[in-house]
Amino acid sequence: MTDQSKLVRATAPALHSIDAQTGAIVSDAFAVHGFDDVAAACAAAEAAFDIYRATDRATRAAFLDRIGDEIVTIGDVLIETAVRESGLPRARLEGERGRTVGQLRLFADVVRRGEWLGLRIDPALPDRQPAPRPDLRLRMVPLGPVAVFGASNFPLAFSTAGGDTASALAAGCPVVVKGHPAHPAAGALVAEAIRRAVSASGLPEGVFSHLVGAGNALGAALVQDPRIAAVGFTGSRGGGLALVKLAQARPVPIPVYAEMSSINPVVLLPHALAARGAALGSAFVGSLTMGAGQFCTNPGLVLAMEGEGLDVFVTAAVAALQASVGATMLTGGIHAAYGQGVQALAAHEDVETLAQGQAGEGVAAGRAALFATDAAAFLRDEALGHEVFGASSLLVRCRDADELRDVLAKVEGQLTATLQMDAEDEALAATLIPILERKAGRILANGWPTGVEVTHAMVHGGPYPATSDARTTSVGSLAIDRFLRPVSYQNLASALLPAELRDGTANDVPVLIDGKRN
């Protein structure tokens, strides 16, 4: 152990498993990793990279499936642990475990199909004039070892074995996870399951490492390690931007996929409001308060034109919100930040407090809150467009469609944008969609943003500051592309080509030949 590592361990806050509801420490202090452990994990990942990326698709897919199996094998103790550490309800965590395992199986399927290899062949044209064309063959290769920072709000699906880990492993990248300090015990159980899968699959240990520590020094060292080739992160804007900055300042800069902050505007169009304002009001509060509002896709901004329909919506939303009972938030820190955010809105001279929920039990219950302002005030103060992580939302009343469009054009980049609309709203909606396409990664109609399907056509991403890289998604099969880059092989002997590009290989993977699908 180096002196520096002693130092980081000595100065790092002690890391315990905390019961989110009571704030009580329920474990001994976790052994915290130091800088030497970061270096060892990165060295192991680097050593494992060439072996792991050379695995055939069947082997790699079976490994991903095996991780899923091992997570299921942990059994109920994983759910109990995650419930205790997160304060989230049991049913939610059972669902999240299903999602996590399903996500690993989706990527296993993706690996098997091989579409992600992006195979392209331009056959040689030996008779071309004035010079022959060489044989060119392209495939995607993995970037290298990936650092993954788990999120607090999805202790399973966006954490140790979450989407970043699954997609990086699918791409052929070893993964070094910096576990989230809010759920060290759940993280340790999942990390152990992955290690079992690594071992059972006969892969080198360095394919997966798990680092534990509170404070920022460990994560910073991980991002700065020269062997790390890319970073996946889900968390706060401040945290994400700090990692981006570190990654850009490296001698060799690397991409950071940080999913950071989003207030997910919901636009209530007039005919929908007129037809079902009350139902929308209560459904909106359902989406807002689910999981104590701790979703990246939580509807933190509601836009509508003033009128009777909006009044009915507000009345219903206020009633539903006042009946809601505050649920335990993930950590004391998140609870405190939420309280500050709500207080700032309540104290804002242009903001009216429409309703507050009931207080709830435990030390970290987040009381829901609904505020209102007008478009002019929103356009004046960009702080009104910042995320308050939790069950708080701001209604912006607009005079007319022009003002509605002005507000939408002003909001920052978002993960989602939602239209509540009826058929008669289509003409107005058509004028909004070009604006929304530039603002958000997902546009949805007549639903709520808080459900994120793990499928092929999902985009969980969006323009800055929703993410640090709008060209990607962190959920769904397209997420694998984040960890790949193209390599072209010119006139290479067949024996030296990767298997998928060799002549005479019965190829079950789609190939673009001279620009056309095979």
- 412-431 residues in contact with a second copy (CB under 8 A) are 413, 423, 426, 429-430
Q: Does 203 contact a second copy by CB under 8 A?
A: no
Which residues, numbered 31-60, are part of the site for a second copy (CB under 8 A)? 50, 54
Cβ count within 10 A of residue 295: 25
Nearer of residues 302 and 501 to a second copy, judged by Cβ: 501
Binding-site member from 154, 472, 474, 480 for a second copy (CB under 8 A): 472
For residue 326, which amino acid is it? G
Q: Does 480 contact a second copy by CB under 8 A?
A: no
Nearer of residues 146 and 330 to a second copy, judged by Cβ: 146
State CA 315 to chain mean position distance: 34
Dihedral through CA 176, CA 179, CA 180, CA 184, nearest 10? 180
Q: In which region does residue 114 sit, left (phi positive, over 0), alpha (psi from -120 to 50) or beta (all else)?
A: left
Binding-site member from 126, 202, 504, 515 for a second copy (CB under 8 A): 515
Smallest separation, CB 339 to a second copy (Å): 28
Q: How many CA atoms lie within 13 A of 369 on its CB side?
A: 24
Q: Applying CB under 8 A, which part among 26-34, 324-332, 339-347, 507-515 lies near a second copy?
A: 507-515
Alpha-carbon distance of 411 to 458, in angstroms, equals 22
Strands 414-420 and 440-445: what pairing? parallel
Exactly one of 46, 70, 96, 259 is catalytic; name it.
Answer: 259
Smallest separation, CB 134 to a second copy (Å): 6
Alpha-carbon distance of 112 to 115, in angstroms, equals 9
Exactly one of 296, 387, 398, 403 is catalytic; name it.
Answer: 296
Structure letter (DSSP) for residue 475: S
445 burial class (0-12, 13-18, 19+ CB within 10 angstroms)? middle
Binding-site member from 73, 424, 486, 505 for a second copy (CB under 8 A): 486
Structure tokens belonging to residue 427: 């003409």
Nearer of residues 241 and 377 to a second copy, judged by Cβ: 241
Distances in Å between the Cα of 216 and the Cα atoms of 149, 186, 255 are 11, 20, 19
Alpha-carbon distance of 27 to 488, in angstroms, equals 52
Smallest separation, CB 34 to a second copy (Å): 28
Q: What string marks each residue from 136 to 175 as x (binds a second copy by CB under 8 A) or -?
A: xxx--x-xx-------------------------------
Nearer of residues 378 and 448 to a second copy, judged by Cβ: 448
Alpha-carbon distance of 409 to 438, in angstroms, equals 9
Q: Does 406 contact a second copy by CB under 8 A?
A: no
Nearer of residues 274 and 435 to a second copy, judged by Cβ: 435
42 is an active site residue: no
Number of residues that bind a second copy (CB under 8 A): 77
What is the 3-class SS of 351-419, one letter each residue? CEEEEECECCCCCCEECCEEEEEEHHHHHHCHHHHCCCCCCEEEEEEECCHHHHHHHHHHCCCEEEEEE
Which residues, numbered 355-394, are part of the site for a second copy (CB under 8 A)? none
Nearer of residues 100 and 356 to a second copy, judged by Cβ: 100
Smallest separation, CB 204 to a second copy (Å): 15
Query: Which residues make beta-bridge pairs with 122?
Result: 136
Which residues, numbered 63-122, are part of the site for a second copy (CB under 8 A)? 109-110, 113, 115, 120-122
Smallest separation, CB 425 to a second copy (Å): 10
Q: Does 492 contact a second copy by CB under 8 A?
A: yes
List active site positions: 259, 296
